[in-house]
């Protein structure tokens, strides 16, 4: 049979055109978009701490298929800054497009700002006494006579400049409402400075002694114990 390459040529062109139109419809077309994305930091040198206010968001300009770029959600793109090799003081770090984690078929064109400045300081540790936090009112005729923590001190870590002056390490609130005897409770501890953290241990055992009192013994019957305002221990411990 003779081969006729141009037989049904019009139908072939039509089929090719329809195929191209279908591919274009499915694949979409490329668009550009500017989006605010979070910044995360990794590889902080073991002997240093990040201090000061850090850049937590930047704007990136991306390009990709319309159906992909238009559907980008919060957290789909992030900038990861590598702090390996940082030195004490101000470190100005350029942001490169290869530091941006993106979904497939999304290209990063630009990052604004193009640099971030990270303040680094030498890290330190100190031992700080634990101050148990009590709340409530013992049973009538009883009062708190002694409160002890085991261990009495915990290790606090952070930038050296923050490890001076008064540092309060407190426990989560321990209720003594209606109690009339000695009890022990394991509780979490926290520190009053957001730049510091509890290194170890993160919990202590607090023993509260409640005894009967008489007016001439110097204690008030049903004496109230009010917890001082203190930061939540959970937010100041290591993640």
Tens digit of each residue's pLDDT (9 = 90 or more) over 155-209: 999 999 889 889 999 999 999 999 999 999 999 999 988 889 999 999 999 999 9
Are 93 and 116 a contacting pair, CB within 8 Å? yes
Q: How far is CA 195 from CA 46, 68, 78, 104, 143, in A?
A: 16, 39, 24, 37, 37
What parts of the chain have a pLDDT lower than 50? 1, 3, 218-239
Task: Please give the pLDDT value at position 27.
Answer: 54
162/123 Cα distance (integer angstroms): 10
Record the tokens describing residue 149, joined without a space. Answer: 């923590």
Alpha helices in 70-174 (DSSP H): none
Q: How far is residue 163 CA from its own chain's centroid?
A: 21
Q: What is the mean pLDDT of the chain?
A: 82
Record the tokens describing residue 141, joined without a space. Answer: 């005729």
- CA torsion angle for 158, 164, 166, 168 (degrees, to 10)? 20
Task: Please give the pLDDT value at position 117.
Answer: 94
Closest CA to 155 of 185, 186, 133, 123: 123
Task: Please give the pLDDT value at position 182.
Answer: 94
For residue 6, the SS3 value is coil
Domains of the chain: 29-113 (2.170.120), 123-236 (2.170.120.40)
Q: What is the pTM of this model?
A: 0.60
In the sheet with 78-82, reading across from the earlier edge strand, the strands are 100-101, 78-82, 30-42, 57-65, 106-112
């Amino acid at each position: 049979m003779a081969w006729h390459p141009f037989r049904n040529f019009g139908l072939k062109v039509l089929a090719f055109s329809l195929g191209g139109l279908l591919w274009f419809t499915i694949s979409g077309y490329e668009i550009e978009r500017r989006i605010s994305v979070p910044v995360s930091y990794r590889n902080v040198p073991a002997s240093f701490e990040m201090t000061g206010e850090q850049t937590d968001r930047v704007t990136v300009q991306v390009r990709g298929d319309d159906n992909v770029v238009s559907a980008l959600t919060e957290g789909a793109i992030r900038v990861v800054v590598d702090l390996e090799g940082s030195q004490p003081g101000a470190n100005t770090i350029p942001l490169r497009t290869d530091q941006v984690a993106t979904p497939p078929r999304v290209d990063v064109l630009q990052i604004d700002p193009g640099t971030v400045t990270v303040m680094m300081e030498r890290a330190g540790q100190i031992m700080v006494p634990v101050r148990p936090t009590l709340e409530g009112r013992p049973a009538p005729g009883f009062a708190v006579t002694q409160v002890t923590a085991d261990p009495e001190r915990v290790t606090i870590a952070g930038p050296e400049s923050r490890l001076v002056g008064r540092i309060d390490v407190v426990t989560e609130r321990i209720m003594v409402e209606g109690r009339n005897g000695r009890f022990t409770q394991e509780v979490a501890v926290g520190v009053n400075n957001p730049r510091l953290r509890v290194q170890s241990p993160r919990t202590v055992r607090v023993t509260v002694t409640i005894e009967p009192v008489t007016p001439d013994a110097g204690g008030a019957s049903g004496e109230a114990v009010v917890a001082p305002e203190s930061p939540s221990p959970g937010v100041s411990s290591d993640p």
